[in-house]
Amino acid sequence: MATTDRYPRQAGTLALAHALSAAERGLAVIPLSRTKLPALRSPHRGDDPTAPPCHGECGRPGHGVHDASTDPARVRDLFARAPWATGYGIACGLPPHHLIGVDLDTKSGTDATAALRELALRHLFTIPPTVVIRTPSGGRHLWLTGPPDVAVPNSAGRLAPGIDIRGAGGYLVGPGSRTAHGVYTTAPGTAHLPPAPCPRPLLRLLLPPPRTHAASPQGDAQGDGLINFVLTAHEGQRNTRLFWAACRAYESGLGPTLSEPLITAAVRTGLSPQEARATVTSAARMTGRAR
């Protein structure tokens, strides 16, 4: 029995040590259970369900990510109240890092890494070297930072199948955490890196889409710009430019109007009509505008 009891105590001690190390780097943390959920239960169970939600204003712990702290004394107190904790969560969206987590899943049967590469190709960005956390299931968490005046919302699969985003009000399981499925670890060669700034094109994708408006002179100017972007493509970049321009057209609601002019422009640069039409069709499908 003593041997059995030693494991959770040891796991809790290691989790606290990792959490304190993260807090020293300015990452606000909370204790997690083996299920990856906050270890401390809400103090408001059984309260009036019509009462406004409490985010810790009551002064008691048990408010999930709202308990997160970088204060070592506070972190120790939270873990002392949850001796069964075997991991820790890192709150996203808080200063000084304003952390954004890109969760590349493997359990959905999709290749989230390939989906991110395709998004990067379509939107002309690259993921800079940054902290990468390996999950027990074989997935990866990419740590990025956002601007202090931008609140990135949490989302699941909105960016692409298998890609979840942890933003304001969310948290990431910290490296060294032990869960029911295994241990979260830092990918080799990334432990010494700081979280990298989120590329601006990716940041725009993470924010709620703007409302679409009726056609306007600005829309006409955008269409002319996309056509010119395709017309000025050199050999080796013609298909990529056409795909990018078609994606932008469909995302802005101009796809049905611009598809034929874009195909015509691509043919003028040397693409065959069949290849150009297939590329535009692919862009429509990828942006969810295909019929």
Span 134-190, pLDDT tens digits: 999 999 999 999 998 888 989 888 888 889 999 998 999 999 999 999 999 999 999
* Domain shared by 280 and 175, yes or no: no
Tell whether 291 is covered by a domain.
Answer: no
**Predicted TM-score of the model (pTM):** 0.70
The structure tokens listed for 54 are: 């409490």
* Domain shared by 177 and 201, yes or no: yes
Q: Which of 49-63, 197-211, 215-229 has the lowest mean pLDDT?
A: 215-229
* Domain shared by 199 and 100, yes or no: yes
Q: Find all residues with CB under 8 Å of 68, minimum gap 6, and list them.
A: 28, 29, 30, 89, 90, 91, 94, 171
* Domain shared by 186 and 163, yes or no: yes
pLDDT > 90 fraction of the chain, expressed in percent and rounded: 52
Distance CA 69, CA 30 (A): 7
* Domain shared by 170 and 223, yes or no: no
Tell whether 166 is covered by a domain.
Answer: yes
| Residue at which a domain ends, from 191, 208, 225 | 208
Containing domain of residue 128, as a range? 95-208
* Domain shared by 104 and 86, yes or no: no
Tell whether 187 is covered by a domain.
Answer: yes
Distance CA 172, CA 20 (A): 15
H-helix or E-strand containing 222?
helix 217-231
Distance CA 62, CA 42 (A): 4
| Residue at which a domain ends, from 157, 189, 208 | 208
* Domain shared by 68 and 107, yes or no: no
**With contact defined as beta carbons under 8 Å apart, do 104 and 139 qualify?**
yes
Q: Is 81 helix (H, G, I), strand (E, B) or coil?
A: helix
Tell whether 190 is covered by a domain.
Answer: yes
H-helix or E-strand containing 212?
none
| Residue at which a domain ends, from 39, 65, 91 | 91
Into how many domains does the chain fold? Answer: 3
* Domain shared by 204 and 226, yes or no: no
* Domain shared by 78 and 118, yes or no: no
CA-wise closest residue to 27 among 80, 101, 82, 83: 101
pLDDT of residue 49: 67
Mean pLDDT of the 57-82 span: 94
